Chains A and B, each alone.
Chain A
Amino acid sequence: MSEDFFQGYKGAALEMLKKFNVRVWGQAEVDTTRGMFKGTVLPRAENDDDQHIVLKVITGYNIGVDITTVLSMIETGYKKANYKIPEKEFPVTPGLPKVKLIGTGGTIASRLDYRTGAVIPAFSPGELYGAVPELADICNLETEKLFAVFSENMGPDQYKKLAVAIGQEIEKGIDGIIIGHGTDTLHYTAAALTFMVQNPPIPIILVGSQRSSDRPSSDAALNLMHAATAAGHGDIAEVMVCMFGPTSDEYGFLHRGTRVRKMHSSYRSTFRTIGDIPVATVTRNGVVPQKAIYNHRRKDTNVKITPVFEEKVGMLYYYTNMQPDMIDAMVDNGYKGIVIIGTGLGHVNKPIYPAIERAVKKGVAIYMTVQTLWGYVHMFVYDTGRDLMAKGIIPAENMLPEVAYIKLGWALGQTNDLEKVKEIMLTPINDEITSREPYNGYLIYQGGVREIEDFIKKVHK
């Protein structure tokens, strides 16, 4: 069982440990040409080199010892660490709403993974209560770990399973649902659930965190409290994403699942509603709707679950000099639907026209969205656009590219009749297409300008 004793070590470093009979979690004294080092041998991350042994020294710091400097090594003791979030039973308070937290992975709660040196998710009501005891003041929480995958590994199978699980919970009369999710593809899942779970009587809140919960300044706890408040007490019965409003610990936004997008690789306030305003803000004191119209919470259980998805659907991000073979390749590989993310108002270059014609002839559904993210596809403005429509590309209005992709997969999952698909695509279920873009739906201010600087000095972004 060498892997148990020498966790993560390989090659020369592994040989060195074996030679001197020193195990991972063993207390070791290592004599080297650079002097003596004492500490507990820690596991090594798989991708790190085989030239060093990691020690935790008495002061709690970790150091690496270069094996080429090692003269001798002895193990003087052994103590394996037990990394565990303290589990406490989640208390039930009469009168509080019953909320179900469905886990999918992600960093809402996480712990260290020695294999990769990164963090891995940890999750149970007890663990969560241990980490965020405030949750017990908001709701009576139940949790279920549906799967534990990183955000980038979420896909159609998971969307469908989630939709079914949500349907079952609604059937059982839950007051609200929270879905813990990694943030990278949170908006894909939000769109998928909006389509697969229609007319829900309760809030369905997707939540994640941008800073893992192993960090004191993590946004995880506050996001979770906001999500629990929105799910348990909020009146908005829609699929929504709940994440930080500003980067400050102040309030969260509830974004409609079809209009939300991750807009910064690392900011806490990364999720933004595109082309509209967020549905609501949320604090621990409650939900404050920002939009006048939304679906209200109901007492019934009349939800429509449609857990289908055609996997042979893809997206093509158009770039200058794109060659027709990009489209041909998808068609030849049996793709049934393609969402093109075009330039400007929804354009691609002429050389790929024949490929588009060929695709349409083969019965592939092609929809056009825009790289600008904000604004509508307008294919009547220029000849290019008219040509493309003539060749069978359907403009997807102001649907976000990722949302169009999800919706096309979901539509093709229901029917192969392209007319029906078109009807499904262009009939908005929850604002994935809006009939108008409000003036305050596009706000990207640029710094440096005095009035903006005055603004951000006063208002937290």
Chain B
Amino acid sequence: MKDHFDRQLNYEESKQNIGYVPLKQATMDDWKRIGFMSGLEVHQQLKTKEKLFCHCPAGIFQKKDSYDAELIRHMRPTLSELGEYDGTALMEFKTRKNIVYRIKNETACTYDVDDTPPFKLNREALDYALEIALLSKLNIVGEVHITRKQYLDGSIPTGFQRTAILGVEGELPMKHKKIRLIQLSIEEDSCREISDIGHFRTYSTDRLGMPLIETVTYPDMETPYEVKEVCDYIRFLNRSTGKVRTGIGAGRQDVNVSCIGGTRIEIKGVAHTRWIPKLTHNEAFRQWALLHIREILNERMPKSAVWKMNAQKIDLNNFRFSNLPMTEANKNTFSYHAINLPGFRKILSHFTQPGKMFADEISERLKVIACIEKPNMTHSEEFEPLISEDDFSKMRTLLNASDDDAQIIIWGPEADMKTALETVEERCLWAFKGVPNETRKSFEDGTTIFERVLPGADRMYPDTDSVPIPLLDEYITDLRTKLPTEVIARYHQLRAWNIPEDTDTYIFKKNLFPIIEKIVTKYQIAPKFIGTFIGHTLKFVEGHYKKSPYFNYEMIVGLFRFLKEQSIEVQIAKEMLIVIYEHPKMDFESVLATLKFKRIPKSEILATIPFMKEKFQKIRISSKPEVETQWIMGELRKMSTGNIHPAELKNTIEKTNN
């Protein structure tokens, strides 16, 4: 019996060995050291009335359990146009999932469930998407060809997504460098997943078929923060058209990450750009860790080609296994296999991600590929062993294990065991090669789990149900005349206006630049004031007050027109905004009345200053002149707001001699 090594210590040591540093402590040197590289695929729903290939309304969503009917489909791999089967396709087929679609008559039709061929592509969506393609400086294609992109996870009932390229080779001018774009496509959105348990995966079809664009960048990003910056830029660009949807799920991104020697891993469906830095950082290091594991394994076993695991079905009666986390019912029906992994000692507990070790990679695949719900295994390097050392040593004897090996026990329905065993072996064999190609699902804590095998270009197939759509020069030229100004130009304009940078995200996210521009140019109001009014005040109000469904941002333009026409000092807008936000149907005069505003001539207000000064002398809370000024400003606030600019008031107070 070899030494009983400390698994936790092994984990920490392996983390140190690969030089993992948390994101916050990481520097450019760390990312350079591991060759951090990342690219983006940014999805954005378009604000159209109807779906992309049918006439169902877009943007109406149901609750999970609200549906009129369900139907069941299975997905089979097919050949691509170039005559190849796709790798993911074959894996998905292995999983033998029953896909259940929930249909609500209001939002889905027979097209959505693949019982009717597509109708003509929605021209409104095409217009919007092309506008964004032009803004992204892409080369616009001469003819749009609808292509089928296979998805065998069932997220689209046809088994493929209808998608088409609108432009290739574009460019985004970031603050410090240019980011190249590979392409922009228009496509139909997929179903929303409701649940995925065992052999059943359930989807809702309300989102299915909604028009979506996907902007794909080259892997030009060299730091996790840069990835977020570029992603934000693309989202702001999309929103600058005012023709895209906002809200939960309307914008989603897939982030591709690799490190030197690693492979392109796609982190799917990242909901918030603020998650990006941590996710990309951890993923690059996960790959770095897997490469380190490869090194160790190949050193231990140079003939990896002959590596084989050894598995035995085990009889629970021969073991105690009292701690295995499973129900009594499953205990009786499940099949159990003990597996010996030659040479994997200290590998199972090797660091991969914060809080995760190599063994997790196996367990995640068992869930997805063999459809066995977690917990689906335990192993010899758990921090807190589920199985007694006694049982393990019995098992080692049974498996003829040597001291350099590691063991796992898997369990699940008998029918899934063949796939499960293949899955374990496949993942372990991959450990000798490095990083398996996969797509991964993201979590808020910055970690990811296995989702699918990464599909290749082999899954593309021309859509035989639709004809190509020519894009004539006149049409493109016409669209070009309607484009908004570029986000980067807007960014520079905000700086030229002295509007603080901390307002940018809010302004671009909500596409409020046009509002600011309108107020500044039409009513000659100080841009810095409007910028902070929008970027700070409006943002604050939005975060703290209940918005009326009738409120819209154009009302802010009206507010400033009113103030300008009435020659009311604009400071009062900050107070009026709260009222308008909650009661947008109220006219501005009434809003002023609610605030108990009285028009008082400037001179009258200024005339009170000497008196106020005298009053301050009496209470004299401090001798500092700024305290006096502040006190008087406060006392006069009610009277002065809307009647005199605070700077002018302050100036006059300061200049008035005691």
Q: Mark A37-59, 1 if CB is under 8 A from B, else 0.
A: 10000000000110110101111
* One of B80-88, B293-301, B307-315, B317-325 at the interface: B80-88
A86 with B85, Cβ < 8 A, contacts A214-B79, A215-B159, A460-B69 known:
yes
**Chain B 626-658: CB-based contact to A (< 8 A → 1; otherwise 0):** 000000000000000000000000000000000
Nearest CB of A to B609, in Å? 66
Q: Interface stretch among A155-163, A242-250, A423-431?
A: A242-250
**Bound complex: CA A286 to CA B460 (Å):** 36
Q: Which of A56, A60, A69, A84 has the most CB of B within 10 A?
A: A60
Does the CB pair A59–B163 fall under 8 Å?
A: no
- Asked whether any CB of chain A lies closer than 8 Å to the CB of B144, the reply is yes
Does A398 count as interface, using CB distance less than 8 angstroms?
no
| Interface residue B368 (Cβ < 8 Å from any Cβ of A) | no
Minimum CB–CB distance from B3 to chain A (whole Å) comes to: 49
Task: Name the residue on B nearest A221 (C-beta).
Answer: B76
Residues of A75-91 whose CB lies within 8 A of B: 81-86
Asked whether A267 and B145 contact (CB < 8 A) given A57-B165, A82-B83, A249-B73, the answer is: no
Flag if B142 contacts A216 (CB, 8 Å).
Answer: no
Q: Which among A52, A84, A85 has the highest number of chain B CB atoms within 10 Å?
A: A52
Within 8 Å of chain A (Cβ to Cβ): is B534?
no
B83 touches A65 (CB 8 A): no
Of A98-106, A110-118, A275-283, A413-421, the segment with at least 4 beta carbons within 8 Å of chain B is: A110-118
Q: In the complex the two chains form, is B182's CB within 8 Å of A59's CB? A: yes
Q: Is the CB of A218 within 8 A of B78?
A: yes
The reply to whether A65 and B141 contact each other, CB–CB distance below 8 Å, is yes
B-contacting residues, A362-393, CB 8 Å: none
Which single member of A69, A112, A461 contacts B462 (CB below 8 Å)?
A112
Name the residue of chain A whose CB is nearest to the CB of B81. Answer: A112
Instruction: Scan A235-275; emit 1 where CB is below 8 A from any B CB, else 0.
Output: 00000000000111110000000000000101110000000
Closest to A61 in B: B165
Please tell me which one of the listed residues A48, A56, A59, A268 contacts residue B468 in the complex, with CB atoms under 8 A apart: A48
The distance in angstroms between the C-alpha atoms of A275 and B154, with both chains bound, is: 36
Tell me if B73 and A248 are in contact (CB < 8 A): yes
**A249–B96 Cα gap in the complex (Å)?**
13
A457 within 8 Å of B by Cβ? yes
Q: A447 in the interface, Cβ–Cβ < 8 Å?
A: yes
State whether the Cβ of A323 lies closer than 8 Å to any Cβ in chain B.
Answer: no
Mask, B141-167, CB within 8 Å of A = 1, is: 111110111111000011110011100
Chain B binder among A28-36, A194-202, A331-339, A404-412? A28-36
Beta-carbon nearest neighbor of A264 in chain B:
B115
Q: CB distance B140 to A211 under 8 Å?
A: no
Question: What is the number of residues of chain A that contact chain B, defined by CB distance less than 8 Å?
Answer: 63
A457 and B67 contacting across the interface, CB-CB below 8 Å: yes
B472 to A, closest residue via Cβ: A66
Residues of B within 8 A of A34 (CB): 139-142, 476
Contact B68 A211, beta carbon cutoff 8 Å? no
Query: With A57-B183, A61-B165 in contact, is A119–B147 under 8 Å at CB?
Result: no
Partner of B81 from the list A68, A81, A212, A250 (CB cut-off 8 Å) is A81
Least CB separation from A210: chain B residue: B115
Contact call B168/A52, Cβ cutoff below 8 A: no
Known: A61-B183, A266-B116. A249 touches B145 (CB 8 A): no
Q: Which residues of B contact A65 (CB under 8 A)?
A: 141-143
For the complex, give the distance between the alpha carbons of A94 and B91 in Å. 30
Q: For the complex, what is the distance from the CA of A60 to the CA of B471, rounded to whole Å?
A: 20
- Say yes or no: is B426 at the interface (Cβ < 8 Å to chain A): no
The chain A residue sitting closest to B458, CB to CB, is A60
Q: Which residues of B contact A112 (CB under 8 A)?
A: 81, 461-462, 464
Instruction: Report the minimum CB–CB distance from A35 to chain B (whole Å).
Output: 3
Q: Which residue of B lies closest to A44 (CB)?
A: B468
- Assuming the A-B contacts A36-B169, A85-B79, are A60 and B459 also in contact, with contact meaning beta carbons closer than 8 angstroms in the complex? yes
**CB within 8 Å for A247 and B468 given contacts A52-B143, A63-B145:** no
Q: Which of A58, A82, A210, A217 contacts B158 (CB 8 A)?
A: A217
Determine whether A300 belongs to the interface, using a CB cutoff of 8 Å to chain B. no
Taking a contact as CB atoms closer than 8 A, the residue among A118, A215, A266 that contacts B115 in the complex is A266
The smallest beta-carbon distance between B457 and chain A, in angstroms, is 3
B464 contacts A217, C-beta separation under 8 Å: no
Separation of A238 and B480 alpha carbons in the complex (Å): 65
A267, B110: Cβ atoms closer than 8 Å: yes
C-alpha gap A119/B461 in the complex (Å): 11
Task: Select which of B73, B117, B165 is within 8 A of A217 by beta carbon.
Answer: B73
B509 at the interface (CB under 8 A from A): no
Distance in Å: Cβ of B199 to nearest Cβ of chain A: 13
Chain A residues whose C-beta falls within 8 Å of the C-beta of B115 in the assembled complex: 210, 247, 264, 266-268
Closest to B114 in A: A217
The complex places the Cα of A64 from the Cα of B469 at a distance, in Å, of: 9
**A266 near B468: Cβ-Cβ < 8 Å:** no
Min distance, Cβ A243 to any Cβ of chain B, angstroms: 13
Known: A64-B141, A69-B473, A248-B72. Contact between A214 and B78, CB under 8 A? yes
Taken together as a complex, chains A and B put the C-alpha atoms of A2 and B584 apart, in Å, by 70
Chain A residues with CB below 8 A from B143, complex form: 52, 54, 63-66
Q: Is A171 an interface residue (CB 8 A)?
A: no
The distance from the CB of A108 to the nearest CB of chain B, in whole angstroms, is 13
In whole angstroms, how far apart are the Cα atoms of A416 and B534 in the complex?
A: 91
Q: Is A144's beta carbon under 8 Å from chain B?
A: no
Provided the pairs A66-B470, A66-B471, A248-B71 are in contact, do residues A37 and B141 lie with their beta carbons within 8 angstroms? yes
Taking a contact as CB atoms closer than 8 A, the residue among A36, A60, A213 that contacts B457 in the complex is: A60
Question: Residue A322 at the B interface, CB < 8 A?
Answer: no
A153 at the interface (CB under 8 A from B): no
A52 touches B468 (CB 8 A): yes
B330 to chain A, nearest CB (A): 25
Quick check: is B74 within 8 A (CB to CB) of the other chain? yes
Return chain B residues, CB-CB under 8 Å to A210.
Answer: 115
Task: Give the residues in chain B near A461, CB-CB below 8 Å.
Answer: 69
Asked if A329 is at the interface (CB within 8 A of a chain B CB), the reply is no
| A64 surroundings in chain B (CB, below 8 A) | 141-145, 468, 470
Q: A61-B460, A66-B470 are in contact. Are A216 and B89 (CB under 8 A)?
A: yes
Contact yes or no, A61 B139, CB < 8 A: no
B507 contacts the other chain (Cβ, under 8 Å)? no
Whether the Cβ atoms of A119 and B464 lie closer than 8 Å is: yes
Bound-state CA distance A66–B80 (Å) is 26
Within the complex, what minimum Cβ distance (angstroms) separates B504 from chain A?
A: 30
What CA separation (Å) do A66 and B145 show in the bound complex?
Answer: 12
Tell me which residues across on chain A come within 8 A of B160, comparing CB atoms. 215-216
Partner among A57, A82, A84, A447 whose Cβ is within 8 Å of the Cβ of B105: A447
B83 with A84: CB separation less than 8 A: yes
Chain B residues, Cβ within 8 Å of A54: 143, 145, 468
Inter-subunit contact A216/B70 (CB<8 Å) = no
- Is residue B185 within 8 Å, beta carbon to beta carbon, of the partner chain? yes
Cβ–Cβ contact A66 & B81, under 8 A: no
Within 75-111 of B, Cβ neighbours of A (below 8 Å) are at 75-83, 85, 89, 105, 110
Kindly state whether residue A71 has any CB partner on chain B within 8 Å. Answer: no
Chain B: CB-nearest residue to A51 = B470
Which residue of B has the minimal Cβ distance to A220? B76
Residues of A within 8 A of B (CB): 32-37, 48-49, 51-52, 54, 56-69, 81-86, 111-112, 117-119, 131, 210-218, 221-222, 246-250, 264, 266-268, 447, 453, 456-457, 460-461
Shortest beta-carbon contacts, A-B, top 4: A64-B143, A216-B159, A66-B142, A35-B139
Given contacts A52-B468, A66-B473, 4 further A-B contacts (CB under 8 A): A54-B145, A63-B142, A63-B145, A83-B82
24 pairs from A and B in contact (CB 8 Å cutoff)? A57-B183, A60-B147, A61-B183, A64-B143, A81-B82, A81-B83, A83-B81, A112-B462, A117-B462, A211-B114, A213-B78, A215-B148, A215-B159, A216-B89, A216-B152, A216-B160, A217-B73, A217-B157, A217-B158, A218-B76, A248-B73, A249-B72, A249-B74, A266-B117
